[in-house]
Structure 1
């Protein structure tokens, strides 16, 4: 291998590590469950109001990915990573006021947008610097890193709160992730990689729009079950007589399973393309939901909850690669931004619908049946997508 090729390879590796570090830090927004009770006590609000802080965050994650291609075109990655690092710190000025509105602005808007920008930018950078035959695995690593950030900070935040109090512990937590993001910025600058320019989609709308509609619908239906299960894992387990220890164990294993499955699914998409693994995963998802609907064994319920959450991680890992294969790498950032709104819609709707159905029936049977129907519909949608790799 020549010296220049070795430098390029090392540069790409540094850039990948930088992106993994950024997404790890920005994935911590999903450790919100460790904050919710403290926010309620600090701001003097109820569960619905405190949950709205996270809903606002999810909305802004989605908006950041949707509009990300505009920012990628106008600003360099160095500027954007700097923005990603400082927005959560600026948000502290609002959340430290102790008011509900301050949390909405600081956590929901600023941290939420920073999280989505970090995730979307990392996907864009990694797509630009990775060879096609390794693209799925690389994007799977990015998605998994985003999930692992939530896992680690779900354990770190309670430790910080116990030793330093909620307000100081939260400041320290954000300080850690901001510093780590700046380390990612240093690694990216050191890598000296060149990022591909984005294409304009205006002259290709007629051929791209039908693909976007199918991809959006398949994504919405495919992740609905996973998001519902993750959002209602604790009350669902409790409704079957599971203990709080089982609930905590389930959430930890579900999140870990989601991240690990994302890496493996990315590797599968490199070996077999995206469509076959995605179809297989969604069929297994439908089978798992069906078993969940008929079993009453808490051990089986735990196993299939972890499996469904892992499948969710696999789906969100494969989808960026699927979009890149179908529309080409130069359009993937723009198209994925639009398709990603399906995740945002499912994230906002699935927990609410599941909660409403539970209140109507005093059980989760109707919710599980709905997710089964939607998972089967996702299989049909993905089956009908014409798959070919566009370079």
Structure 2
């Protein structure tokens, strides 16, 4: 029995250029530095006369703007194309970071980072994952993993480079250098991106709008799969200390969480091209649950460090697999619009995570078994995977768990 051809089956170009993927990698490497804001936020808020602790509120505002802007990227790509949108992201990023670097008033970080750099994130991230979605399904997971992995790599790199730079040059110079660097990366990404709004889509035509049930399932999957990792990121250091780690080991736990996130993004997408998107997602959810169980029943570095690394790995995997699974289901042309809605799940989970962080850290020392409650969102996420598996798209690898057939033919 043969399957209906996938979106790339009729494309004359079965070896697409790597330029769009490289564009997405550069763009996300630039804007992912938003997640290193905490490295300079205390100094920024103190010097501009902002209330103590307002740096985290600026970051939350940037996430809200990021999520809201991403909702409009689909229309923007249809009207202007990826190259123009990435050019706009370069202007927004340079202006936002530059404005903050010269700020003398407490409201300017809100404008520079919260609004302008948050908007640059929404535009650049939306375009980047949409470019990865144009890759044929048999390699789409690897492409998505590279693109979203670059977003996580930015703060990892700054984590090493920023402390000595801040000690030598101060936060204003460091932020100005970051503004120039981010702008340059986004300009290079724009140069590599397709100029035509339809470029790279080939014969991949959008199917009918994704059915509401599938959209809801993707939303629940993203929210439930990402929530445990986001909460752990929000409370990593105090939770590690509460589970018996000293300051040095707690720092190692935070580093392992970030490293796991990056490794999960890079590896999971590639692996899903071989085993299927849905099986890979189920594996990631199982790893999250197992790691949280170990964190709840054990203390000390021997248990906590691997658990942090595993949660980071699973969170990174979900972050890479959900966009690839969405593209498999709706096609490349419809992806940017549909994924903007799916991504609001991450935004909601990200805003709730800090609210739960204090309770989670306290539970780590008083009632460690309560940490198992962090696994509660995984239950609806698993049910969402089951629902997606029961909603076959009838087109190639999107059905039967999104497993691609061997290159050169459709089974």
Whether TM exceeds 0.5 here: the answer is yes
Matched with 2:283 is: 280
User: Is 1:300–2:300 an aligned residue pair?
Assistant: no
Matched with 1:126 is: 132
Deviation per CA, 1:58-108, whole angstroms, max 9, x where unpaired? 112211222211111121222111111111221145422233321111001
Matched with 2:231 is: 228
Matched with 2:213 is: 210
2:111 aligned residue (105, 109, 127): 105
Per the TM alignment, residue 192 of structure 1 is displaced from its structure 2 partner at its CA by: 12
1:1-391 residue pairs with structure 2 within 5 A? Answer: 12-92=17-97, 94-95=99-100, 96-128=102-134, 130-188=135-193, 194-196=199-201, 204=208, 208-356=211-359, 358=361, 363=366, 365=368, 368-385=371-388, 386=390, 388=392, 390=395
Per the TM alignment, residue 356 of structure 1 is displaced from its structure 2 partner at its CA by: 4.4
Q: 1:68 to 1:192 in 2, by over 3 A?
A: closer
- Between the aligned partners of 2:275 and 2:350, the Cα distance in structure 1 is 29
Q: Please tell me whether the aligned partners of residues 256 and 308 of structure 2 are also in contact (alpha carbons under 8 angstroms).
A: no
Q: Which moved more, 1:220-229 or 1:71-80?
A: 71-80
Q: Please tell me whether the aligned partners of residues 14 and 190 of structure 1 are also in contact (alpha carbons under 8 angstroms).
A: no
Per the TM alignment, residue 155 of structure 1 is displaced from its structure 2 partner at its CA by: 2.1
Deviation per CA, 1:251-308, whole angstroms, max 9, x where unpaired? 2222222112112111122112211111122112111111111111233111101110
Q: Please tell me whether the aligned partners of residues 259 and 312 of structure 2 are also in contact (alpha carbons under 8 angstroms).
A: no
- Between the aligned partners of 1:15 and 1:169, the Cα distance in structure 2 is 30
Gaps of 5+ in 2: 1-12, 397-411
Q: 1:136 to 1:93 in 2, by over 3 A?
A: closer
Q: Please tell me whether the aligned partners of residues 160 and 170 of structure 1 are also in contact (alpha carbons under 8 angstroms).
A: no
Per the TM alignment, residue 11 of structure 1 is displaced from its structure 2 partner at its CA by: 7.0
Deviation per CA, 1:96-125, whole angstroms, max 9, x where unpaired? 223332111100111011012111101112
- Look up the SS of the partner of 2:72 in the other structure: helix
Q: Please tell me whether the aligned partners of residues 57 and 109 of structure 1 are also in contact (alpha carbons under 8 angstroms).
A: yes
Per the TM alignment, residue 359 of structure 1 is displaced from its structure 2 partner at its CA by: 6.1
Q: 1:107 to 1:267 in 2, by over 3 A?
A: same
Q: Which moved more, 1:24-33 or 1:181-190?
A: 181-190
Q: Please tell me whether the aligned partners of residues 206 and 334 of structure 2 are also in contact (alpha carbons under 8 angstroms).
A: yes
Per the TM alignment, residue 360 of structure 1 is displaced from its structure 2 partner at its CA by: 8.6
Deviation per CA, 1:115-162, whole angstroms, max 9, x where unpaired? 12111101112222x122101111111011110111112222223222
- Between the aligned partners of 2:36 and 2:352, the Cα distance in structure 1 is 19
Matched with 2:3 is: none
- Between the aligned partners of 1:349 and 1:365, the Cα distance in structure 2 is 21
Q: Which moved more, 1:73-82 or 1:184-193?
A: 184-193
- Between the aligned partners of 1:251 and 1:277, the Cα distance in structure 2 is 25
Q: Which moved more, 1:327-336 or 1:223-232?
A: 327-336
Q: 1:168 to 1:331 in 2, by over 3 A?
A: same
- Between the aligned partners of 2:116 and 2:223, the Cα distance in structure 1 is 25
- Between the aligned partners of 1:193 and 1:381, the Cα distance in structure 2 is 32
- Between the aligned partners of 2:329 and 2:196, the Cα distance in structure 1 is 29
Matched with 2:409 is: none
Query: Which of the pair is proportionally richer in helix?
Result: 1
- Between the aligned partners of 2:375 and 2:16, the Cα distance in structure 1 is 45
- Look up the SS of the partner of 1:340 in the other structure: helix
- Between the aligned partners of 2:239 and 2:369, the Cα distance in structure 1 is 12
- Look up the SS of the partner of 2:200 in the other structure: coil
Matched with 2:9 is: none
TM-score by length of 1: 0.89
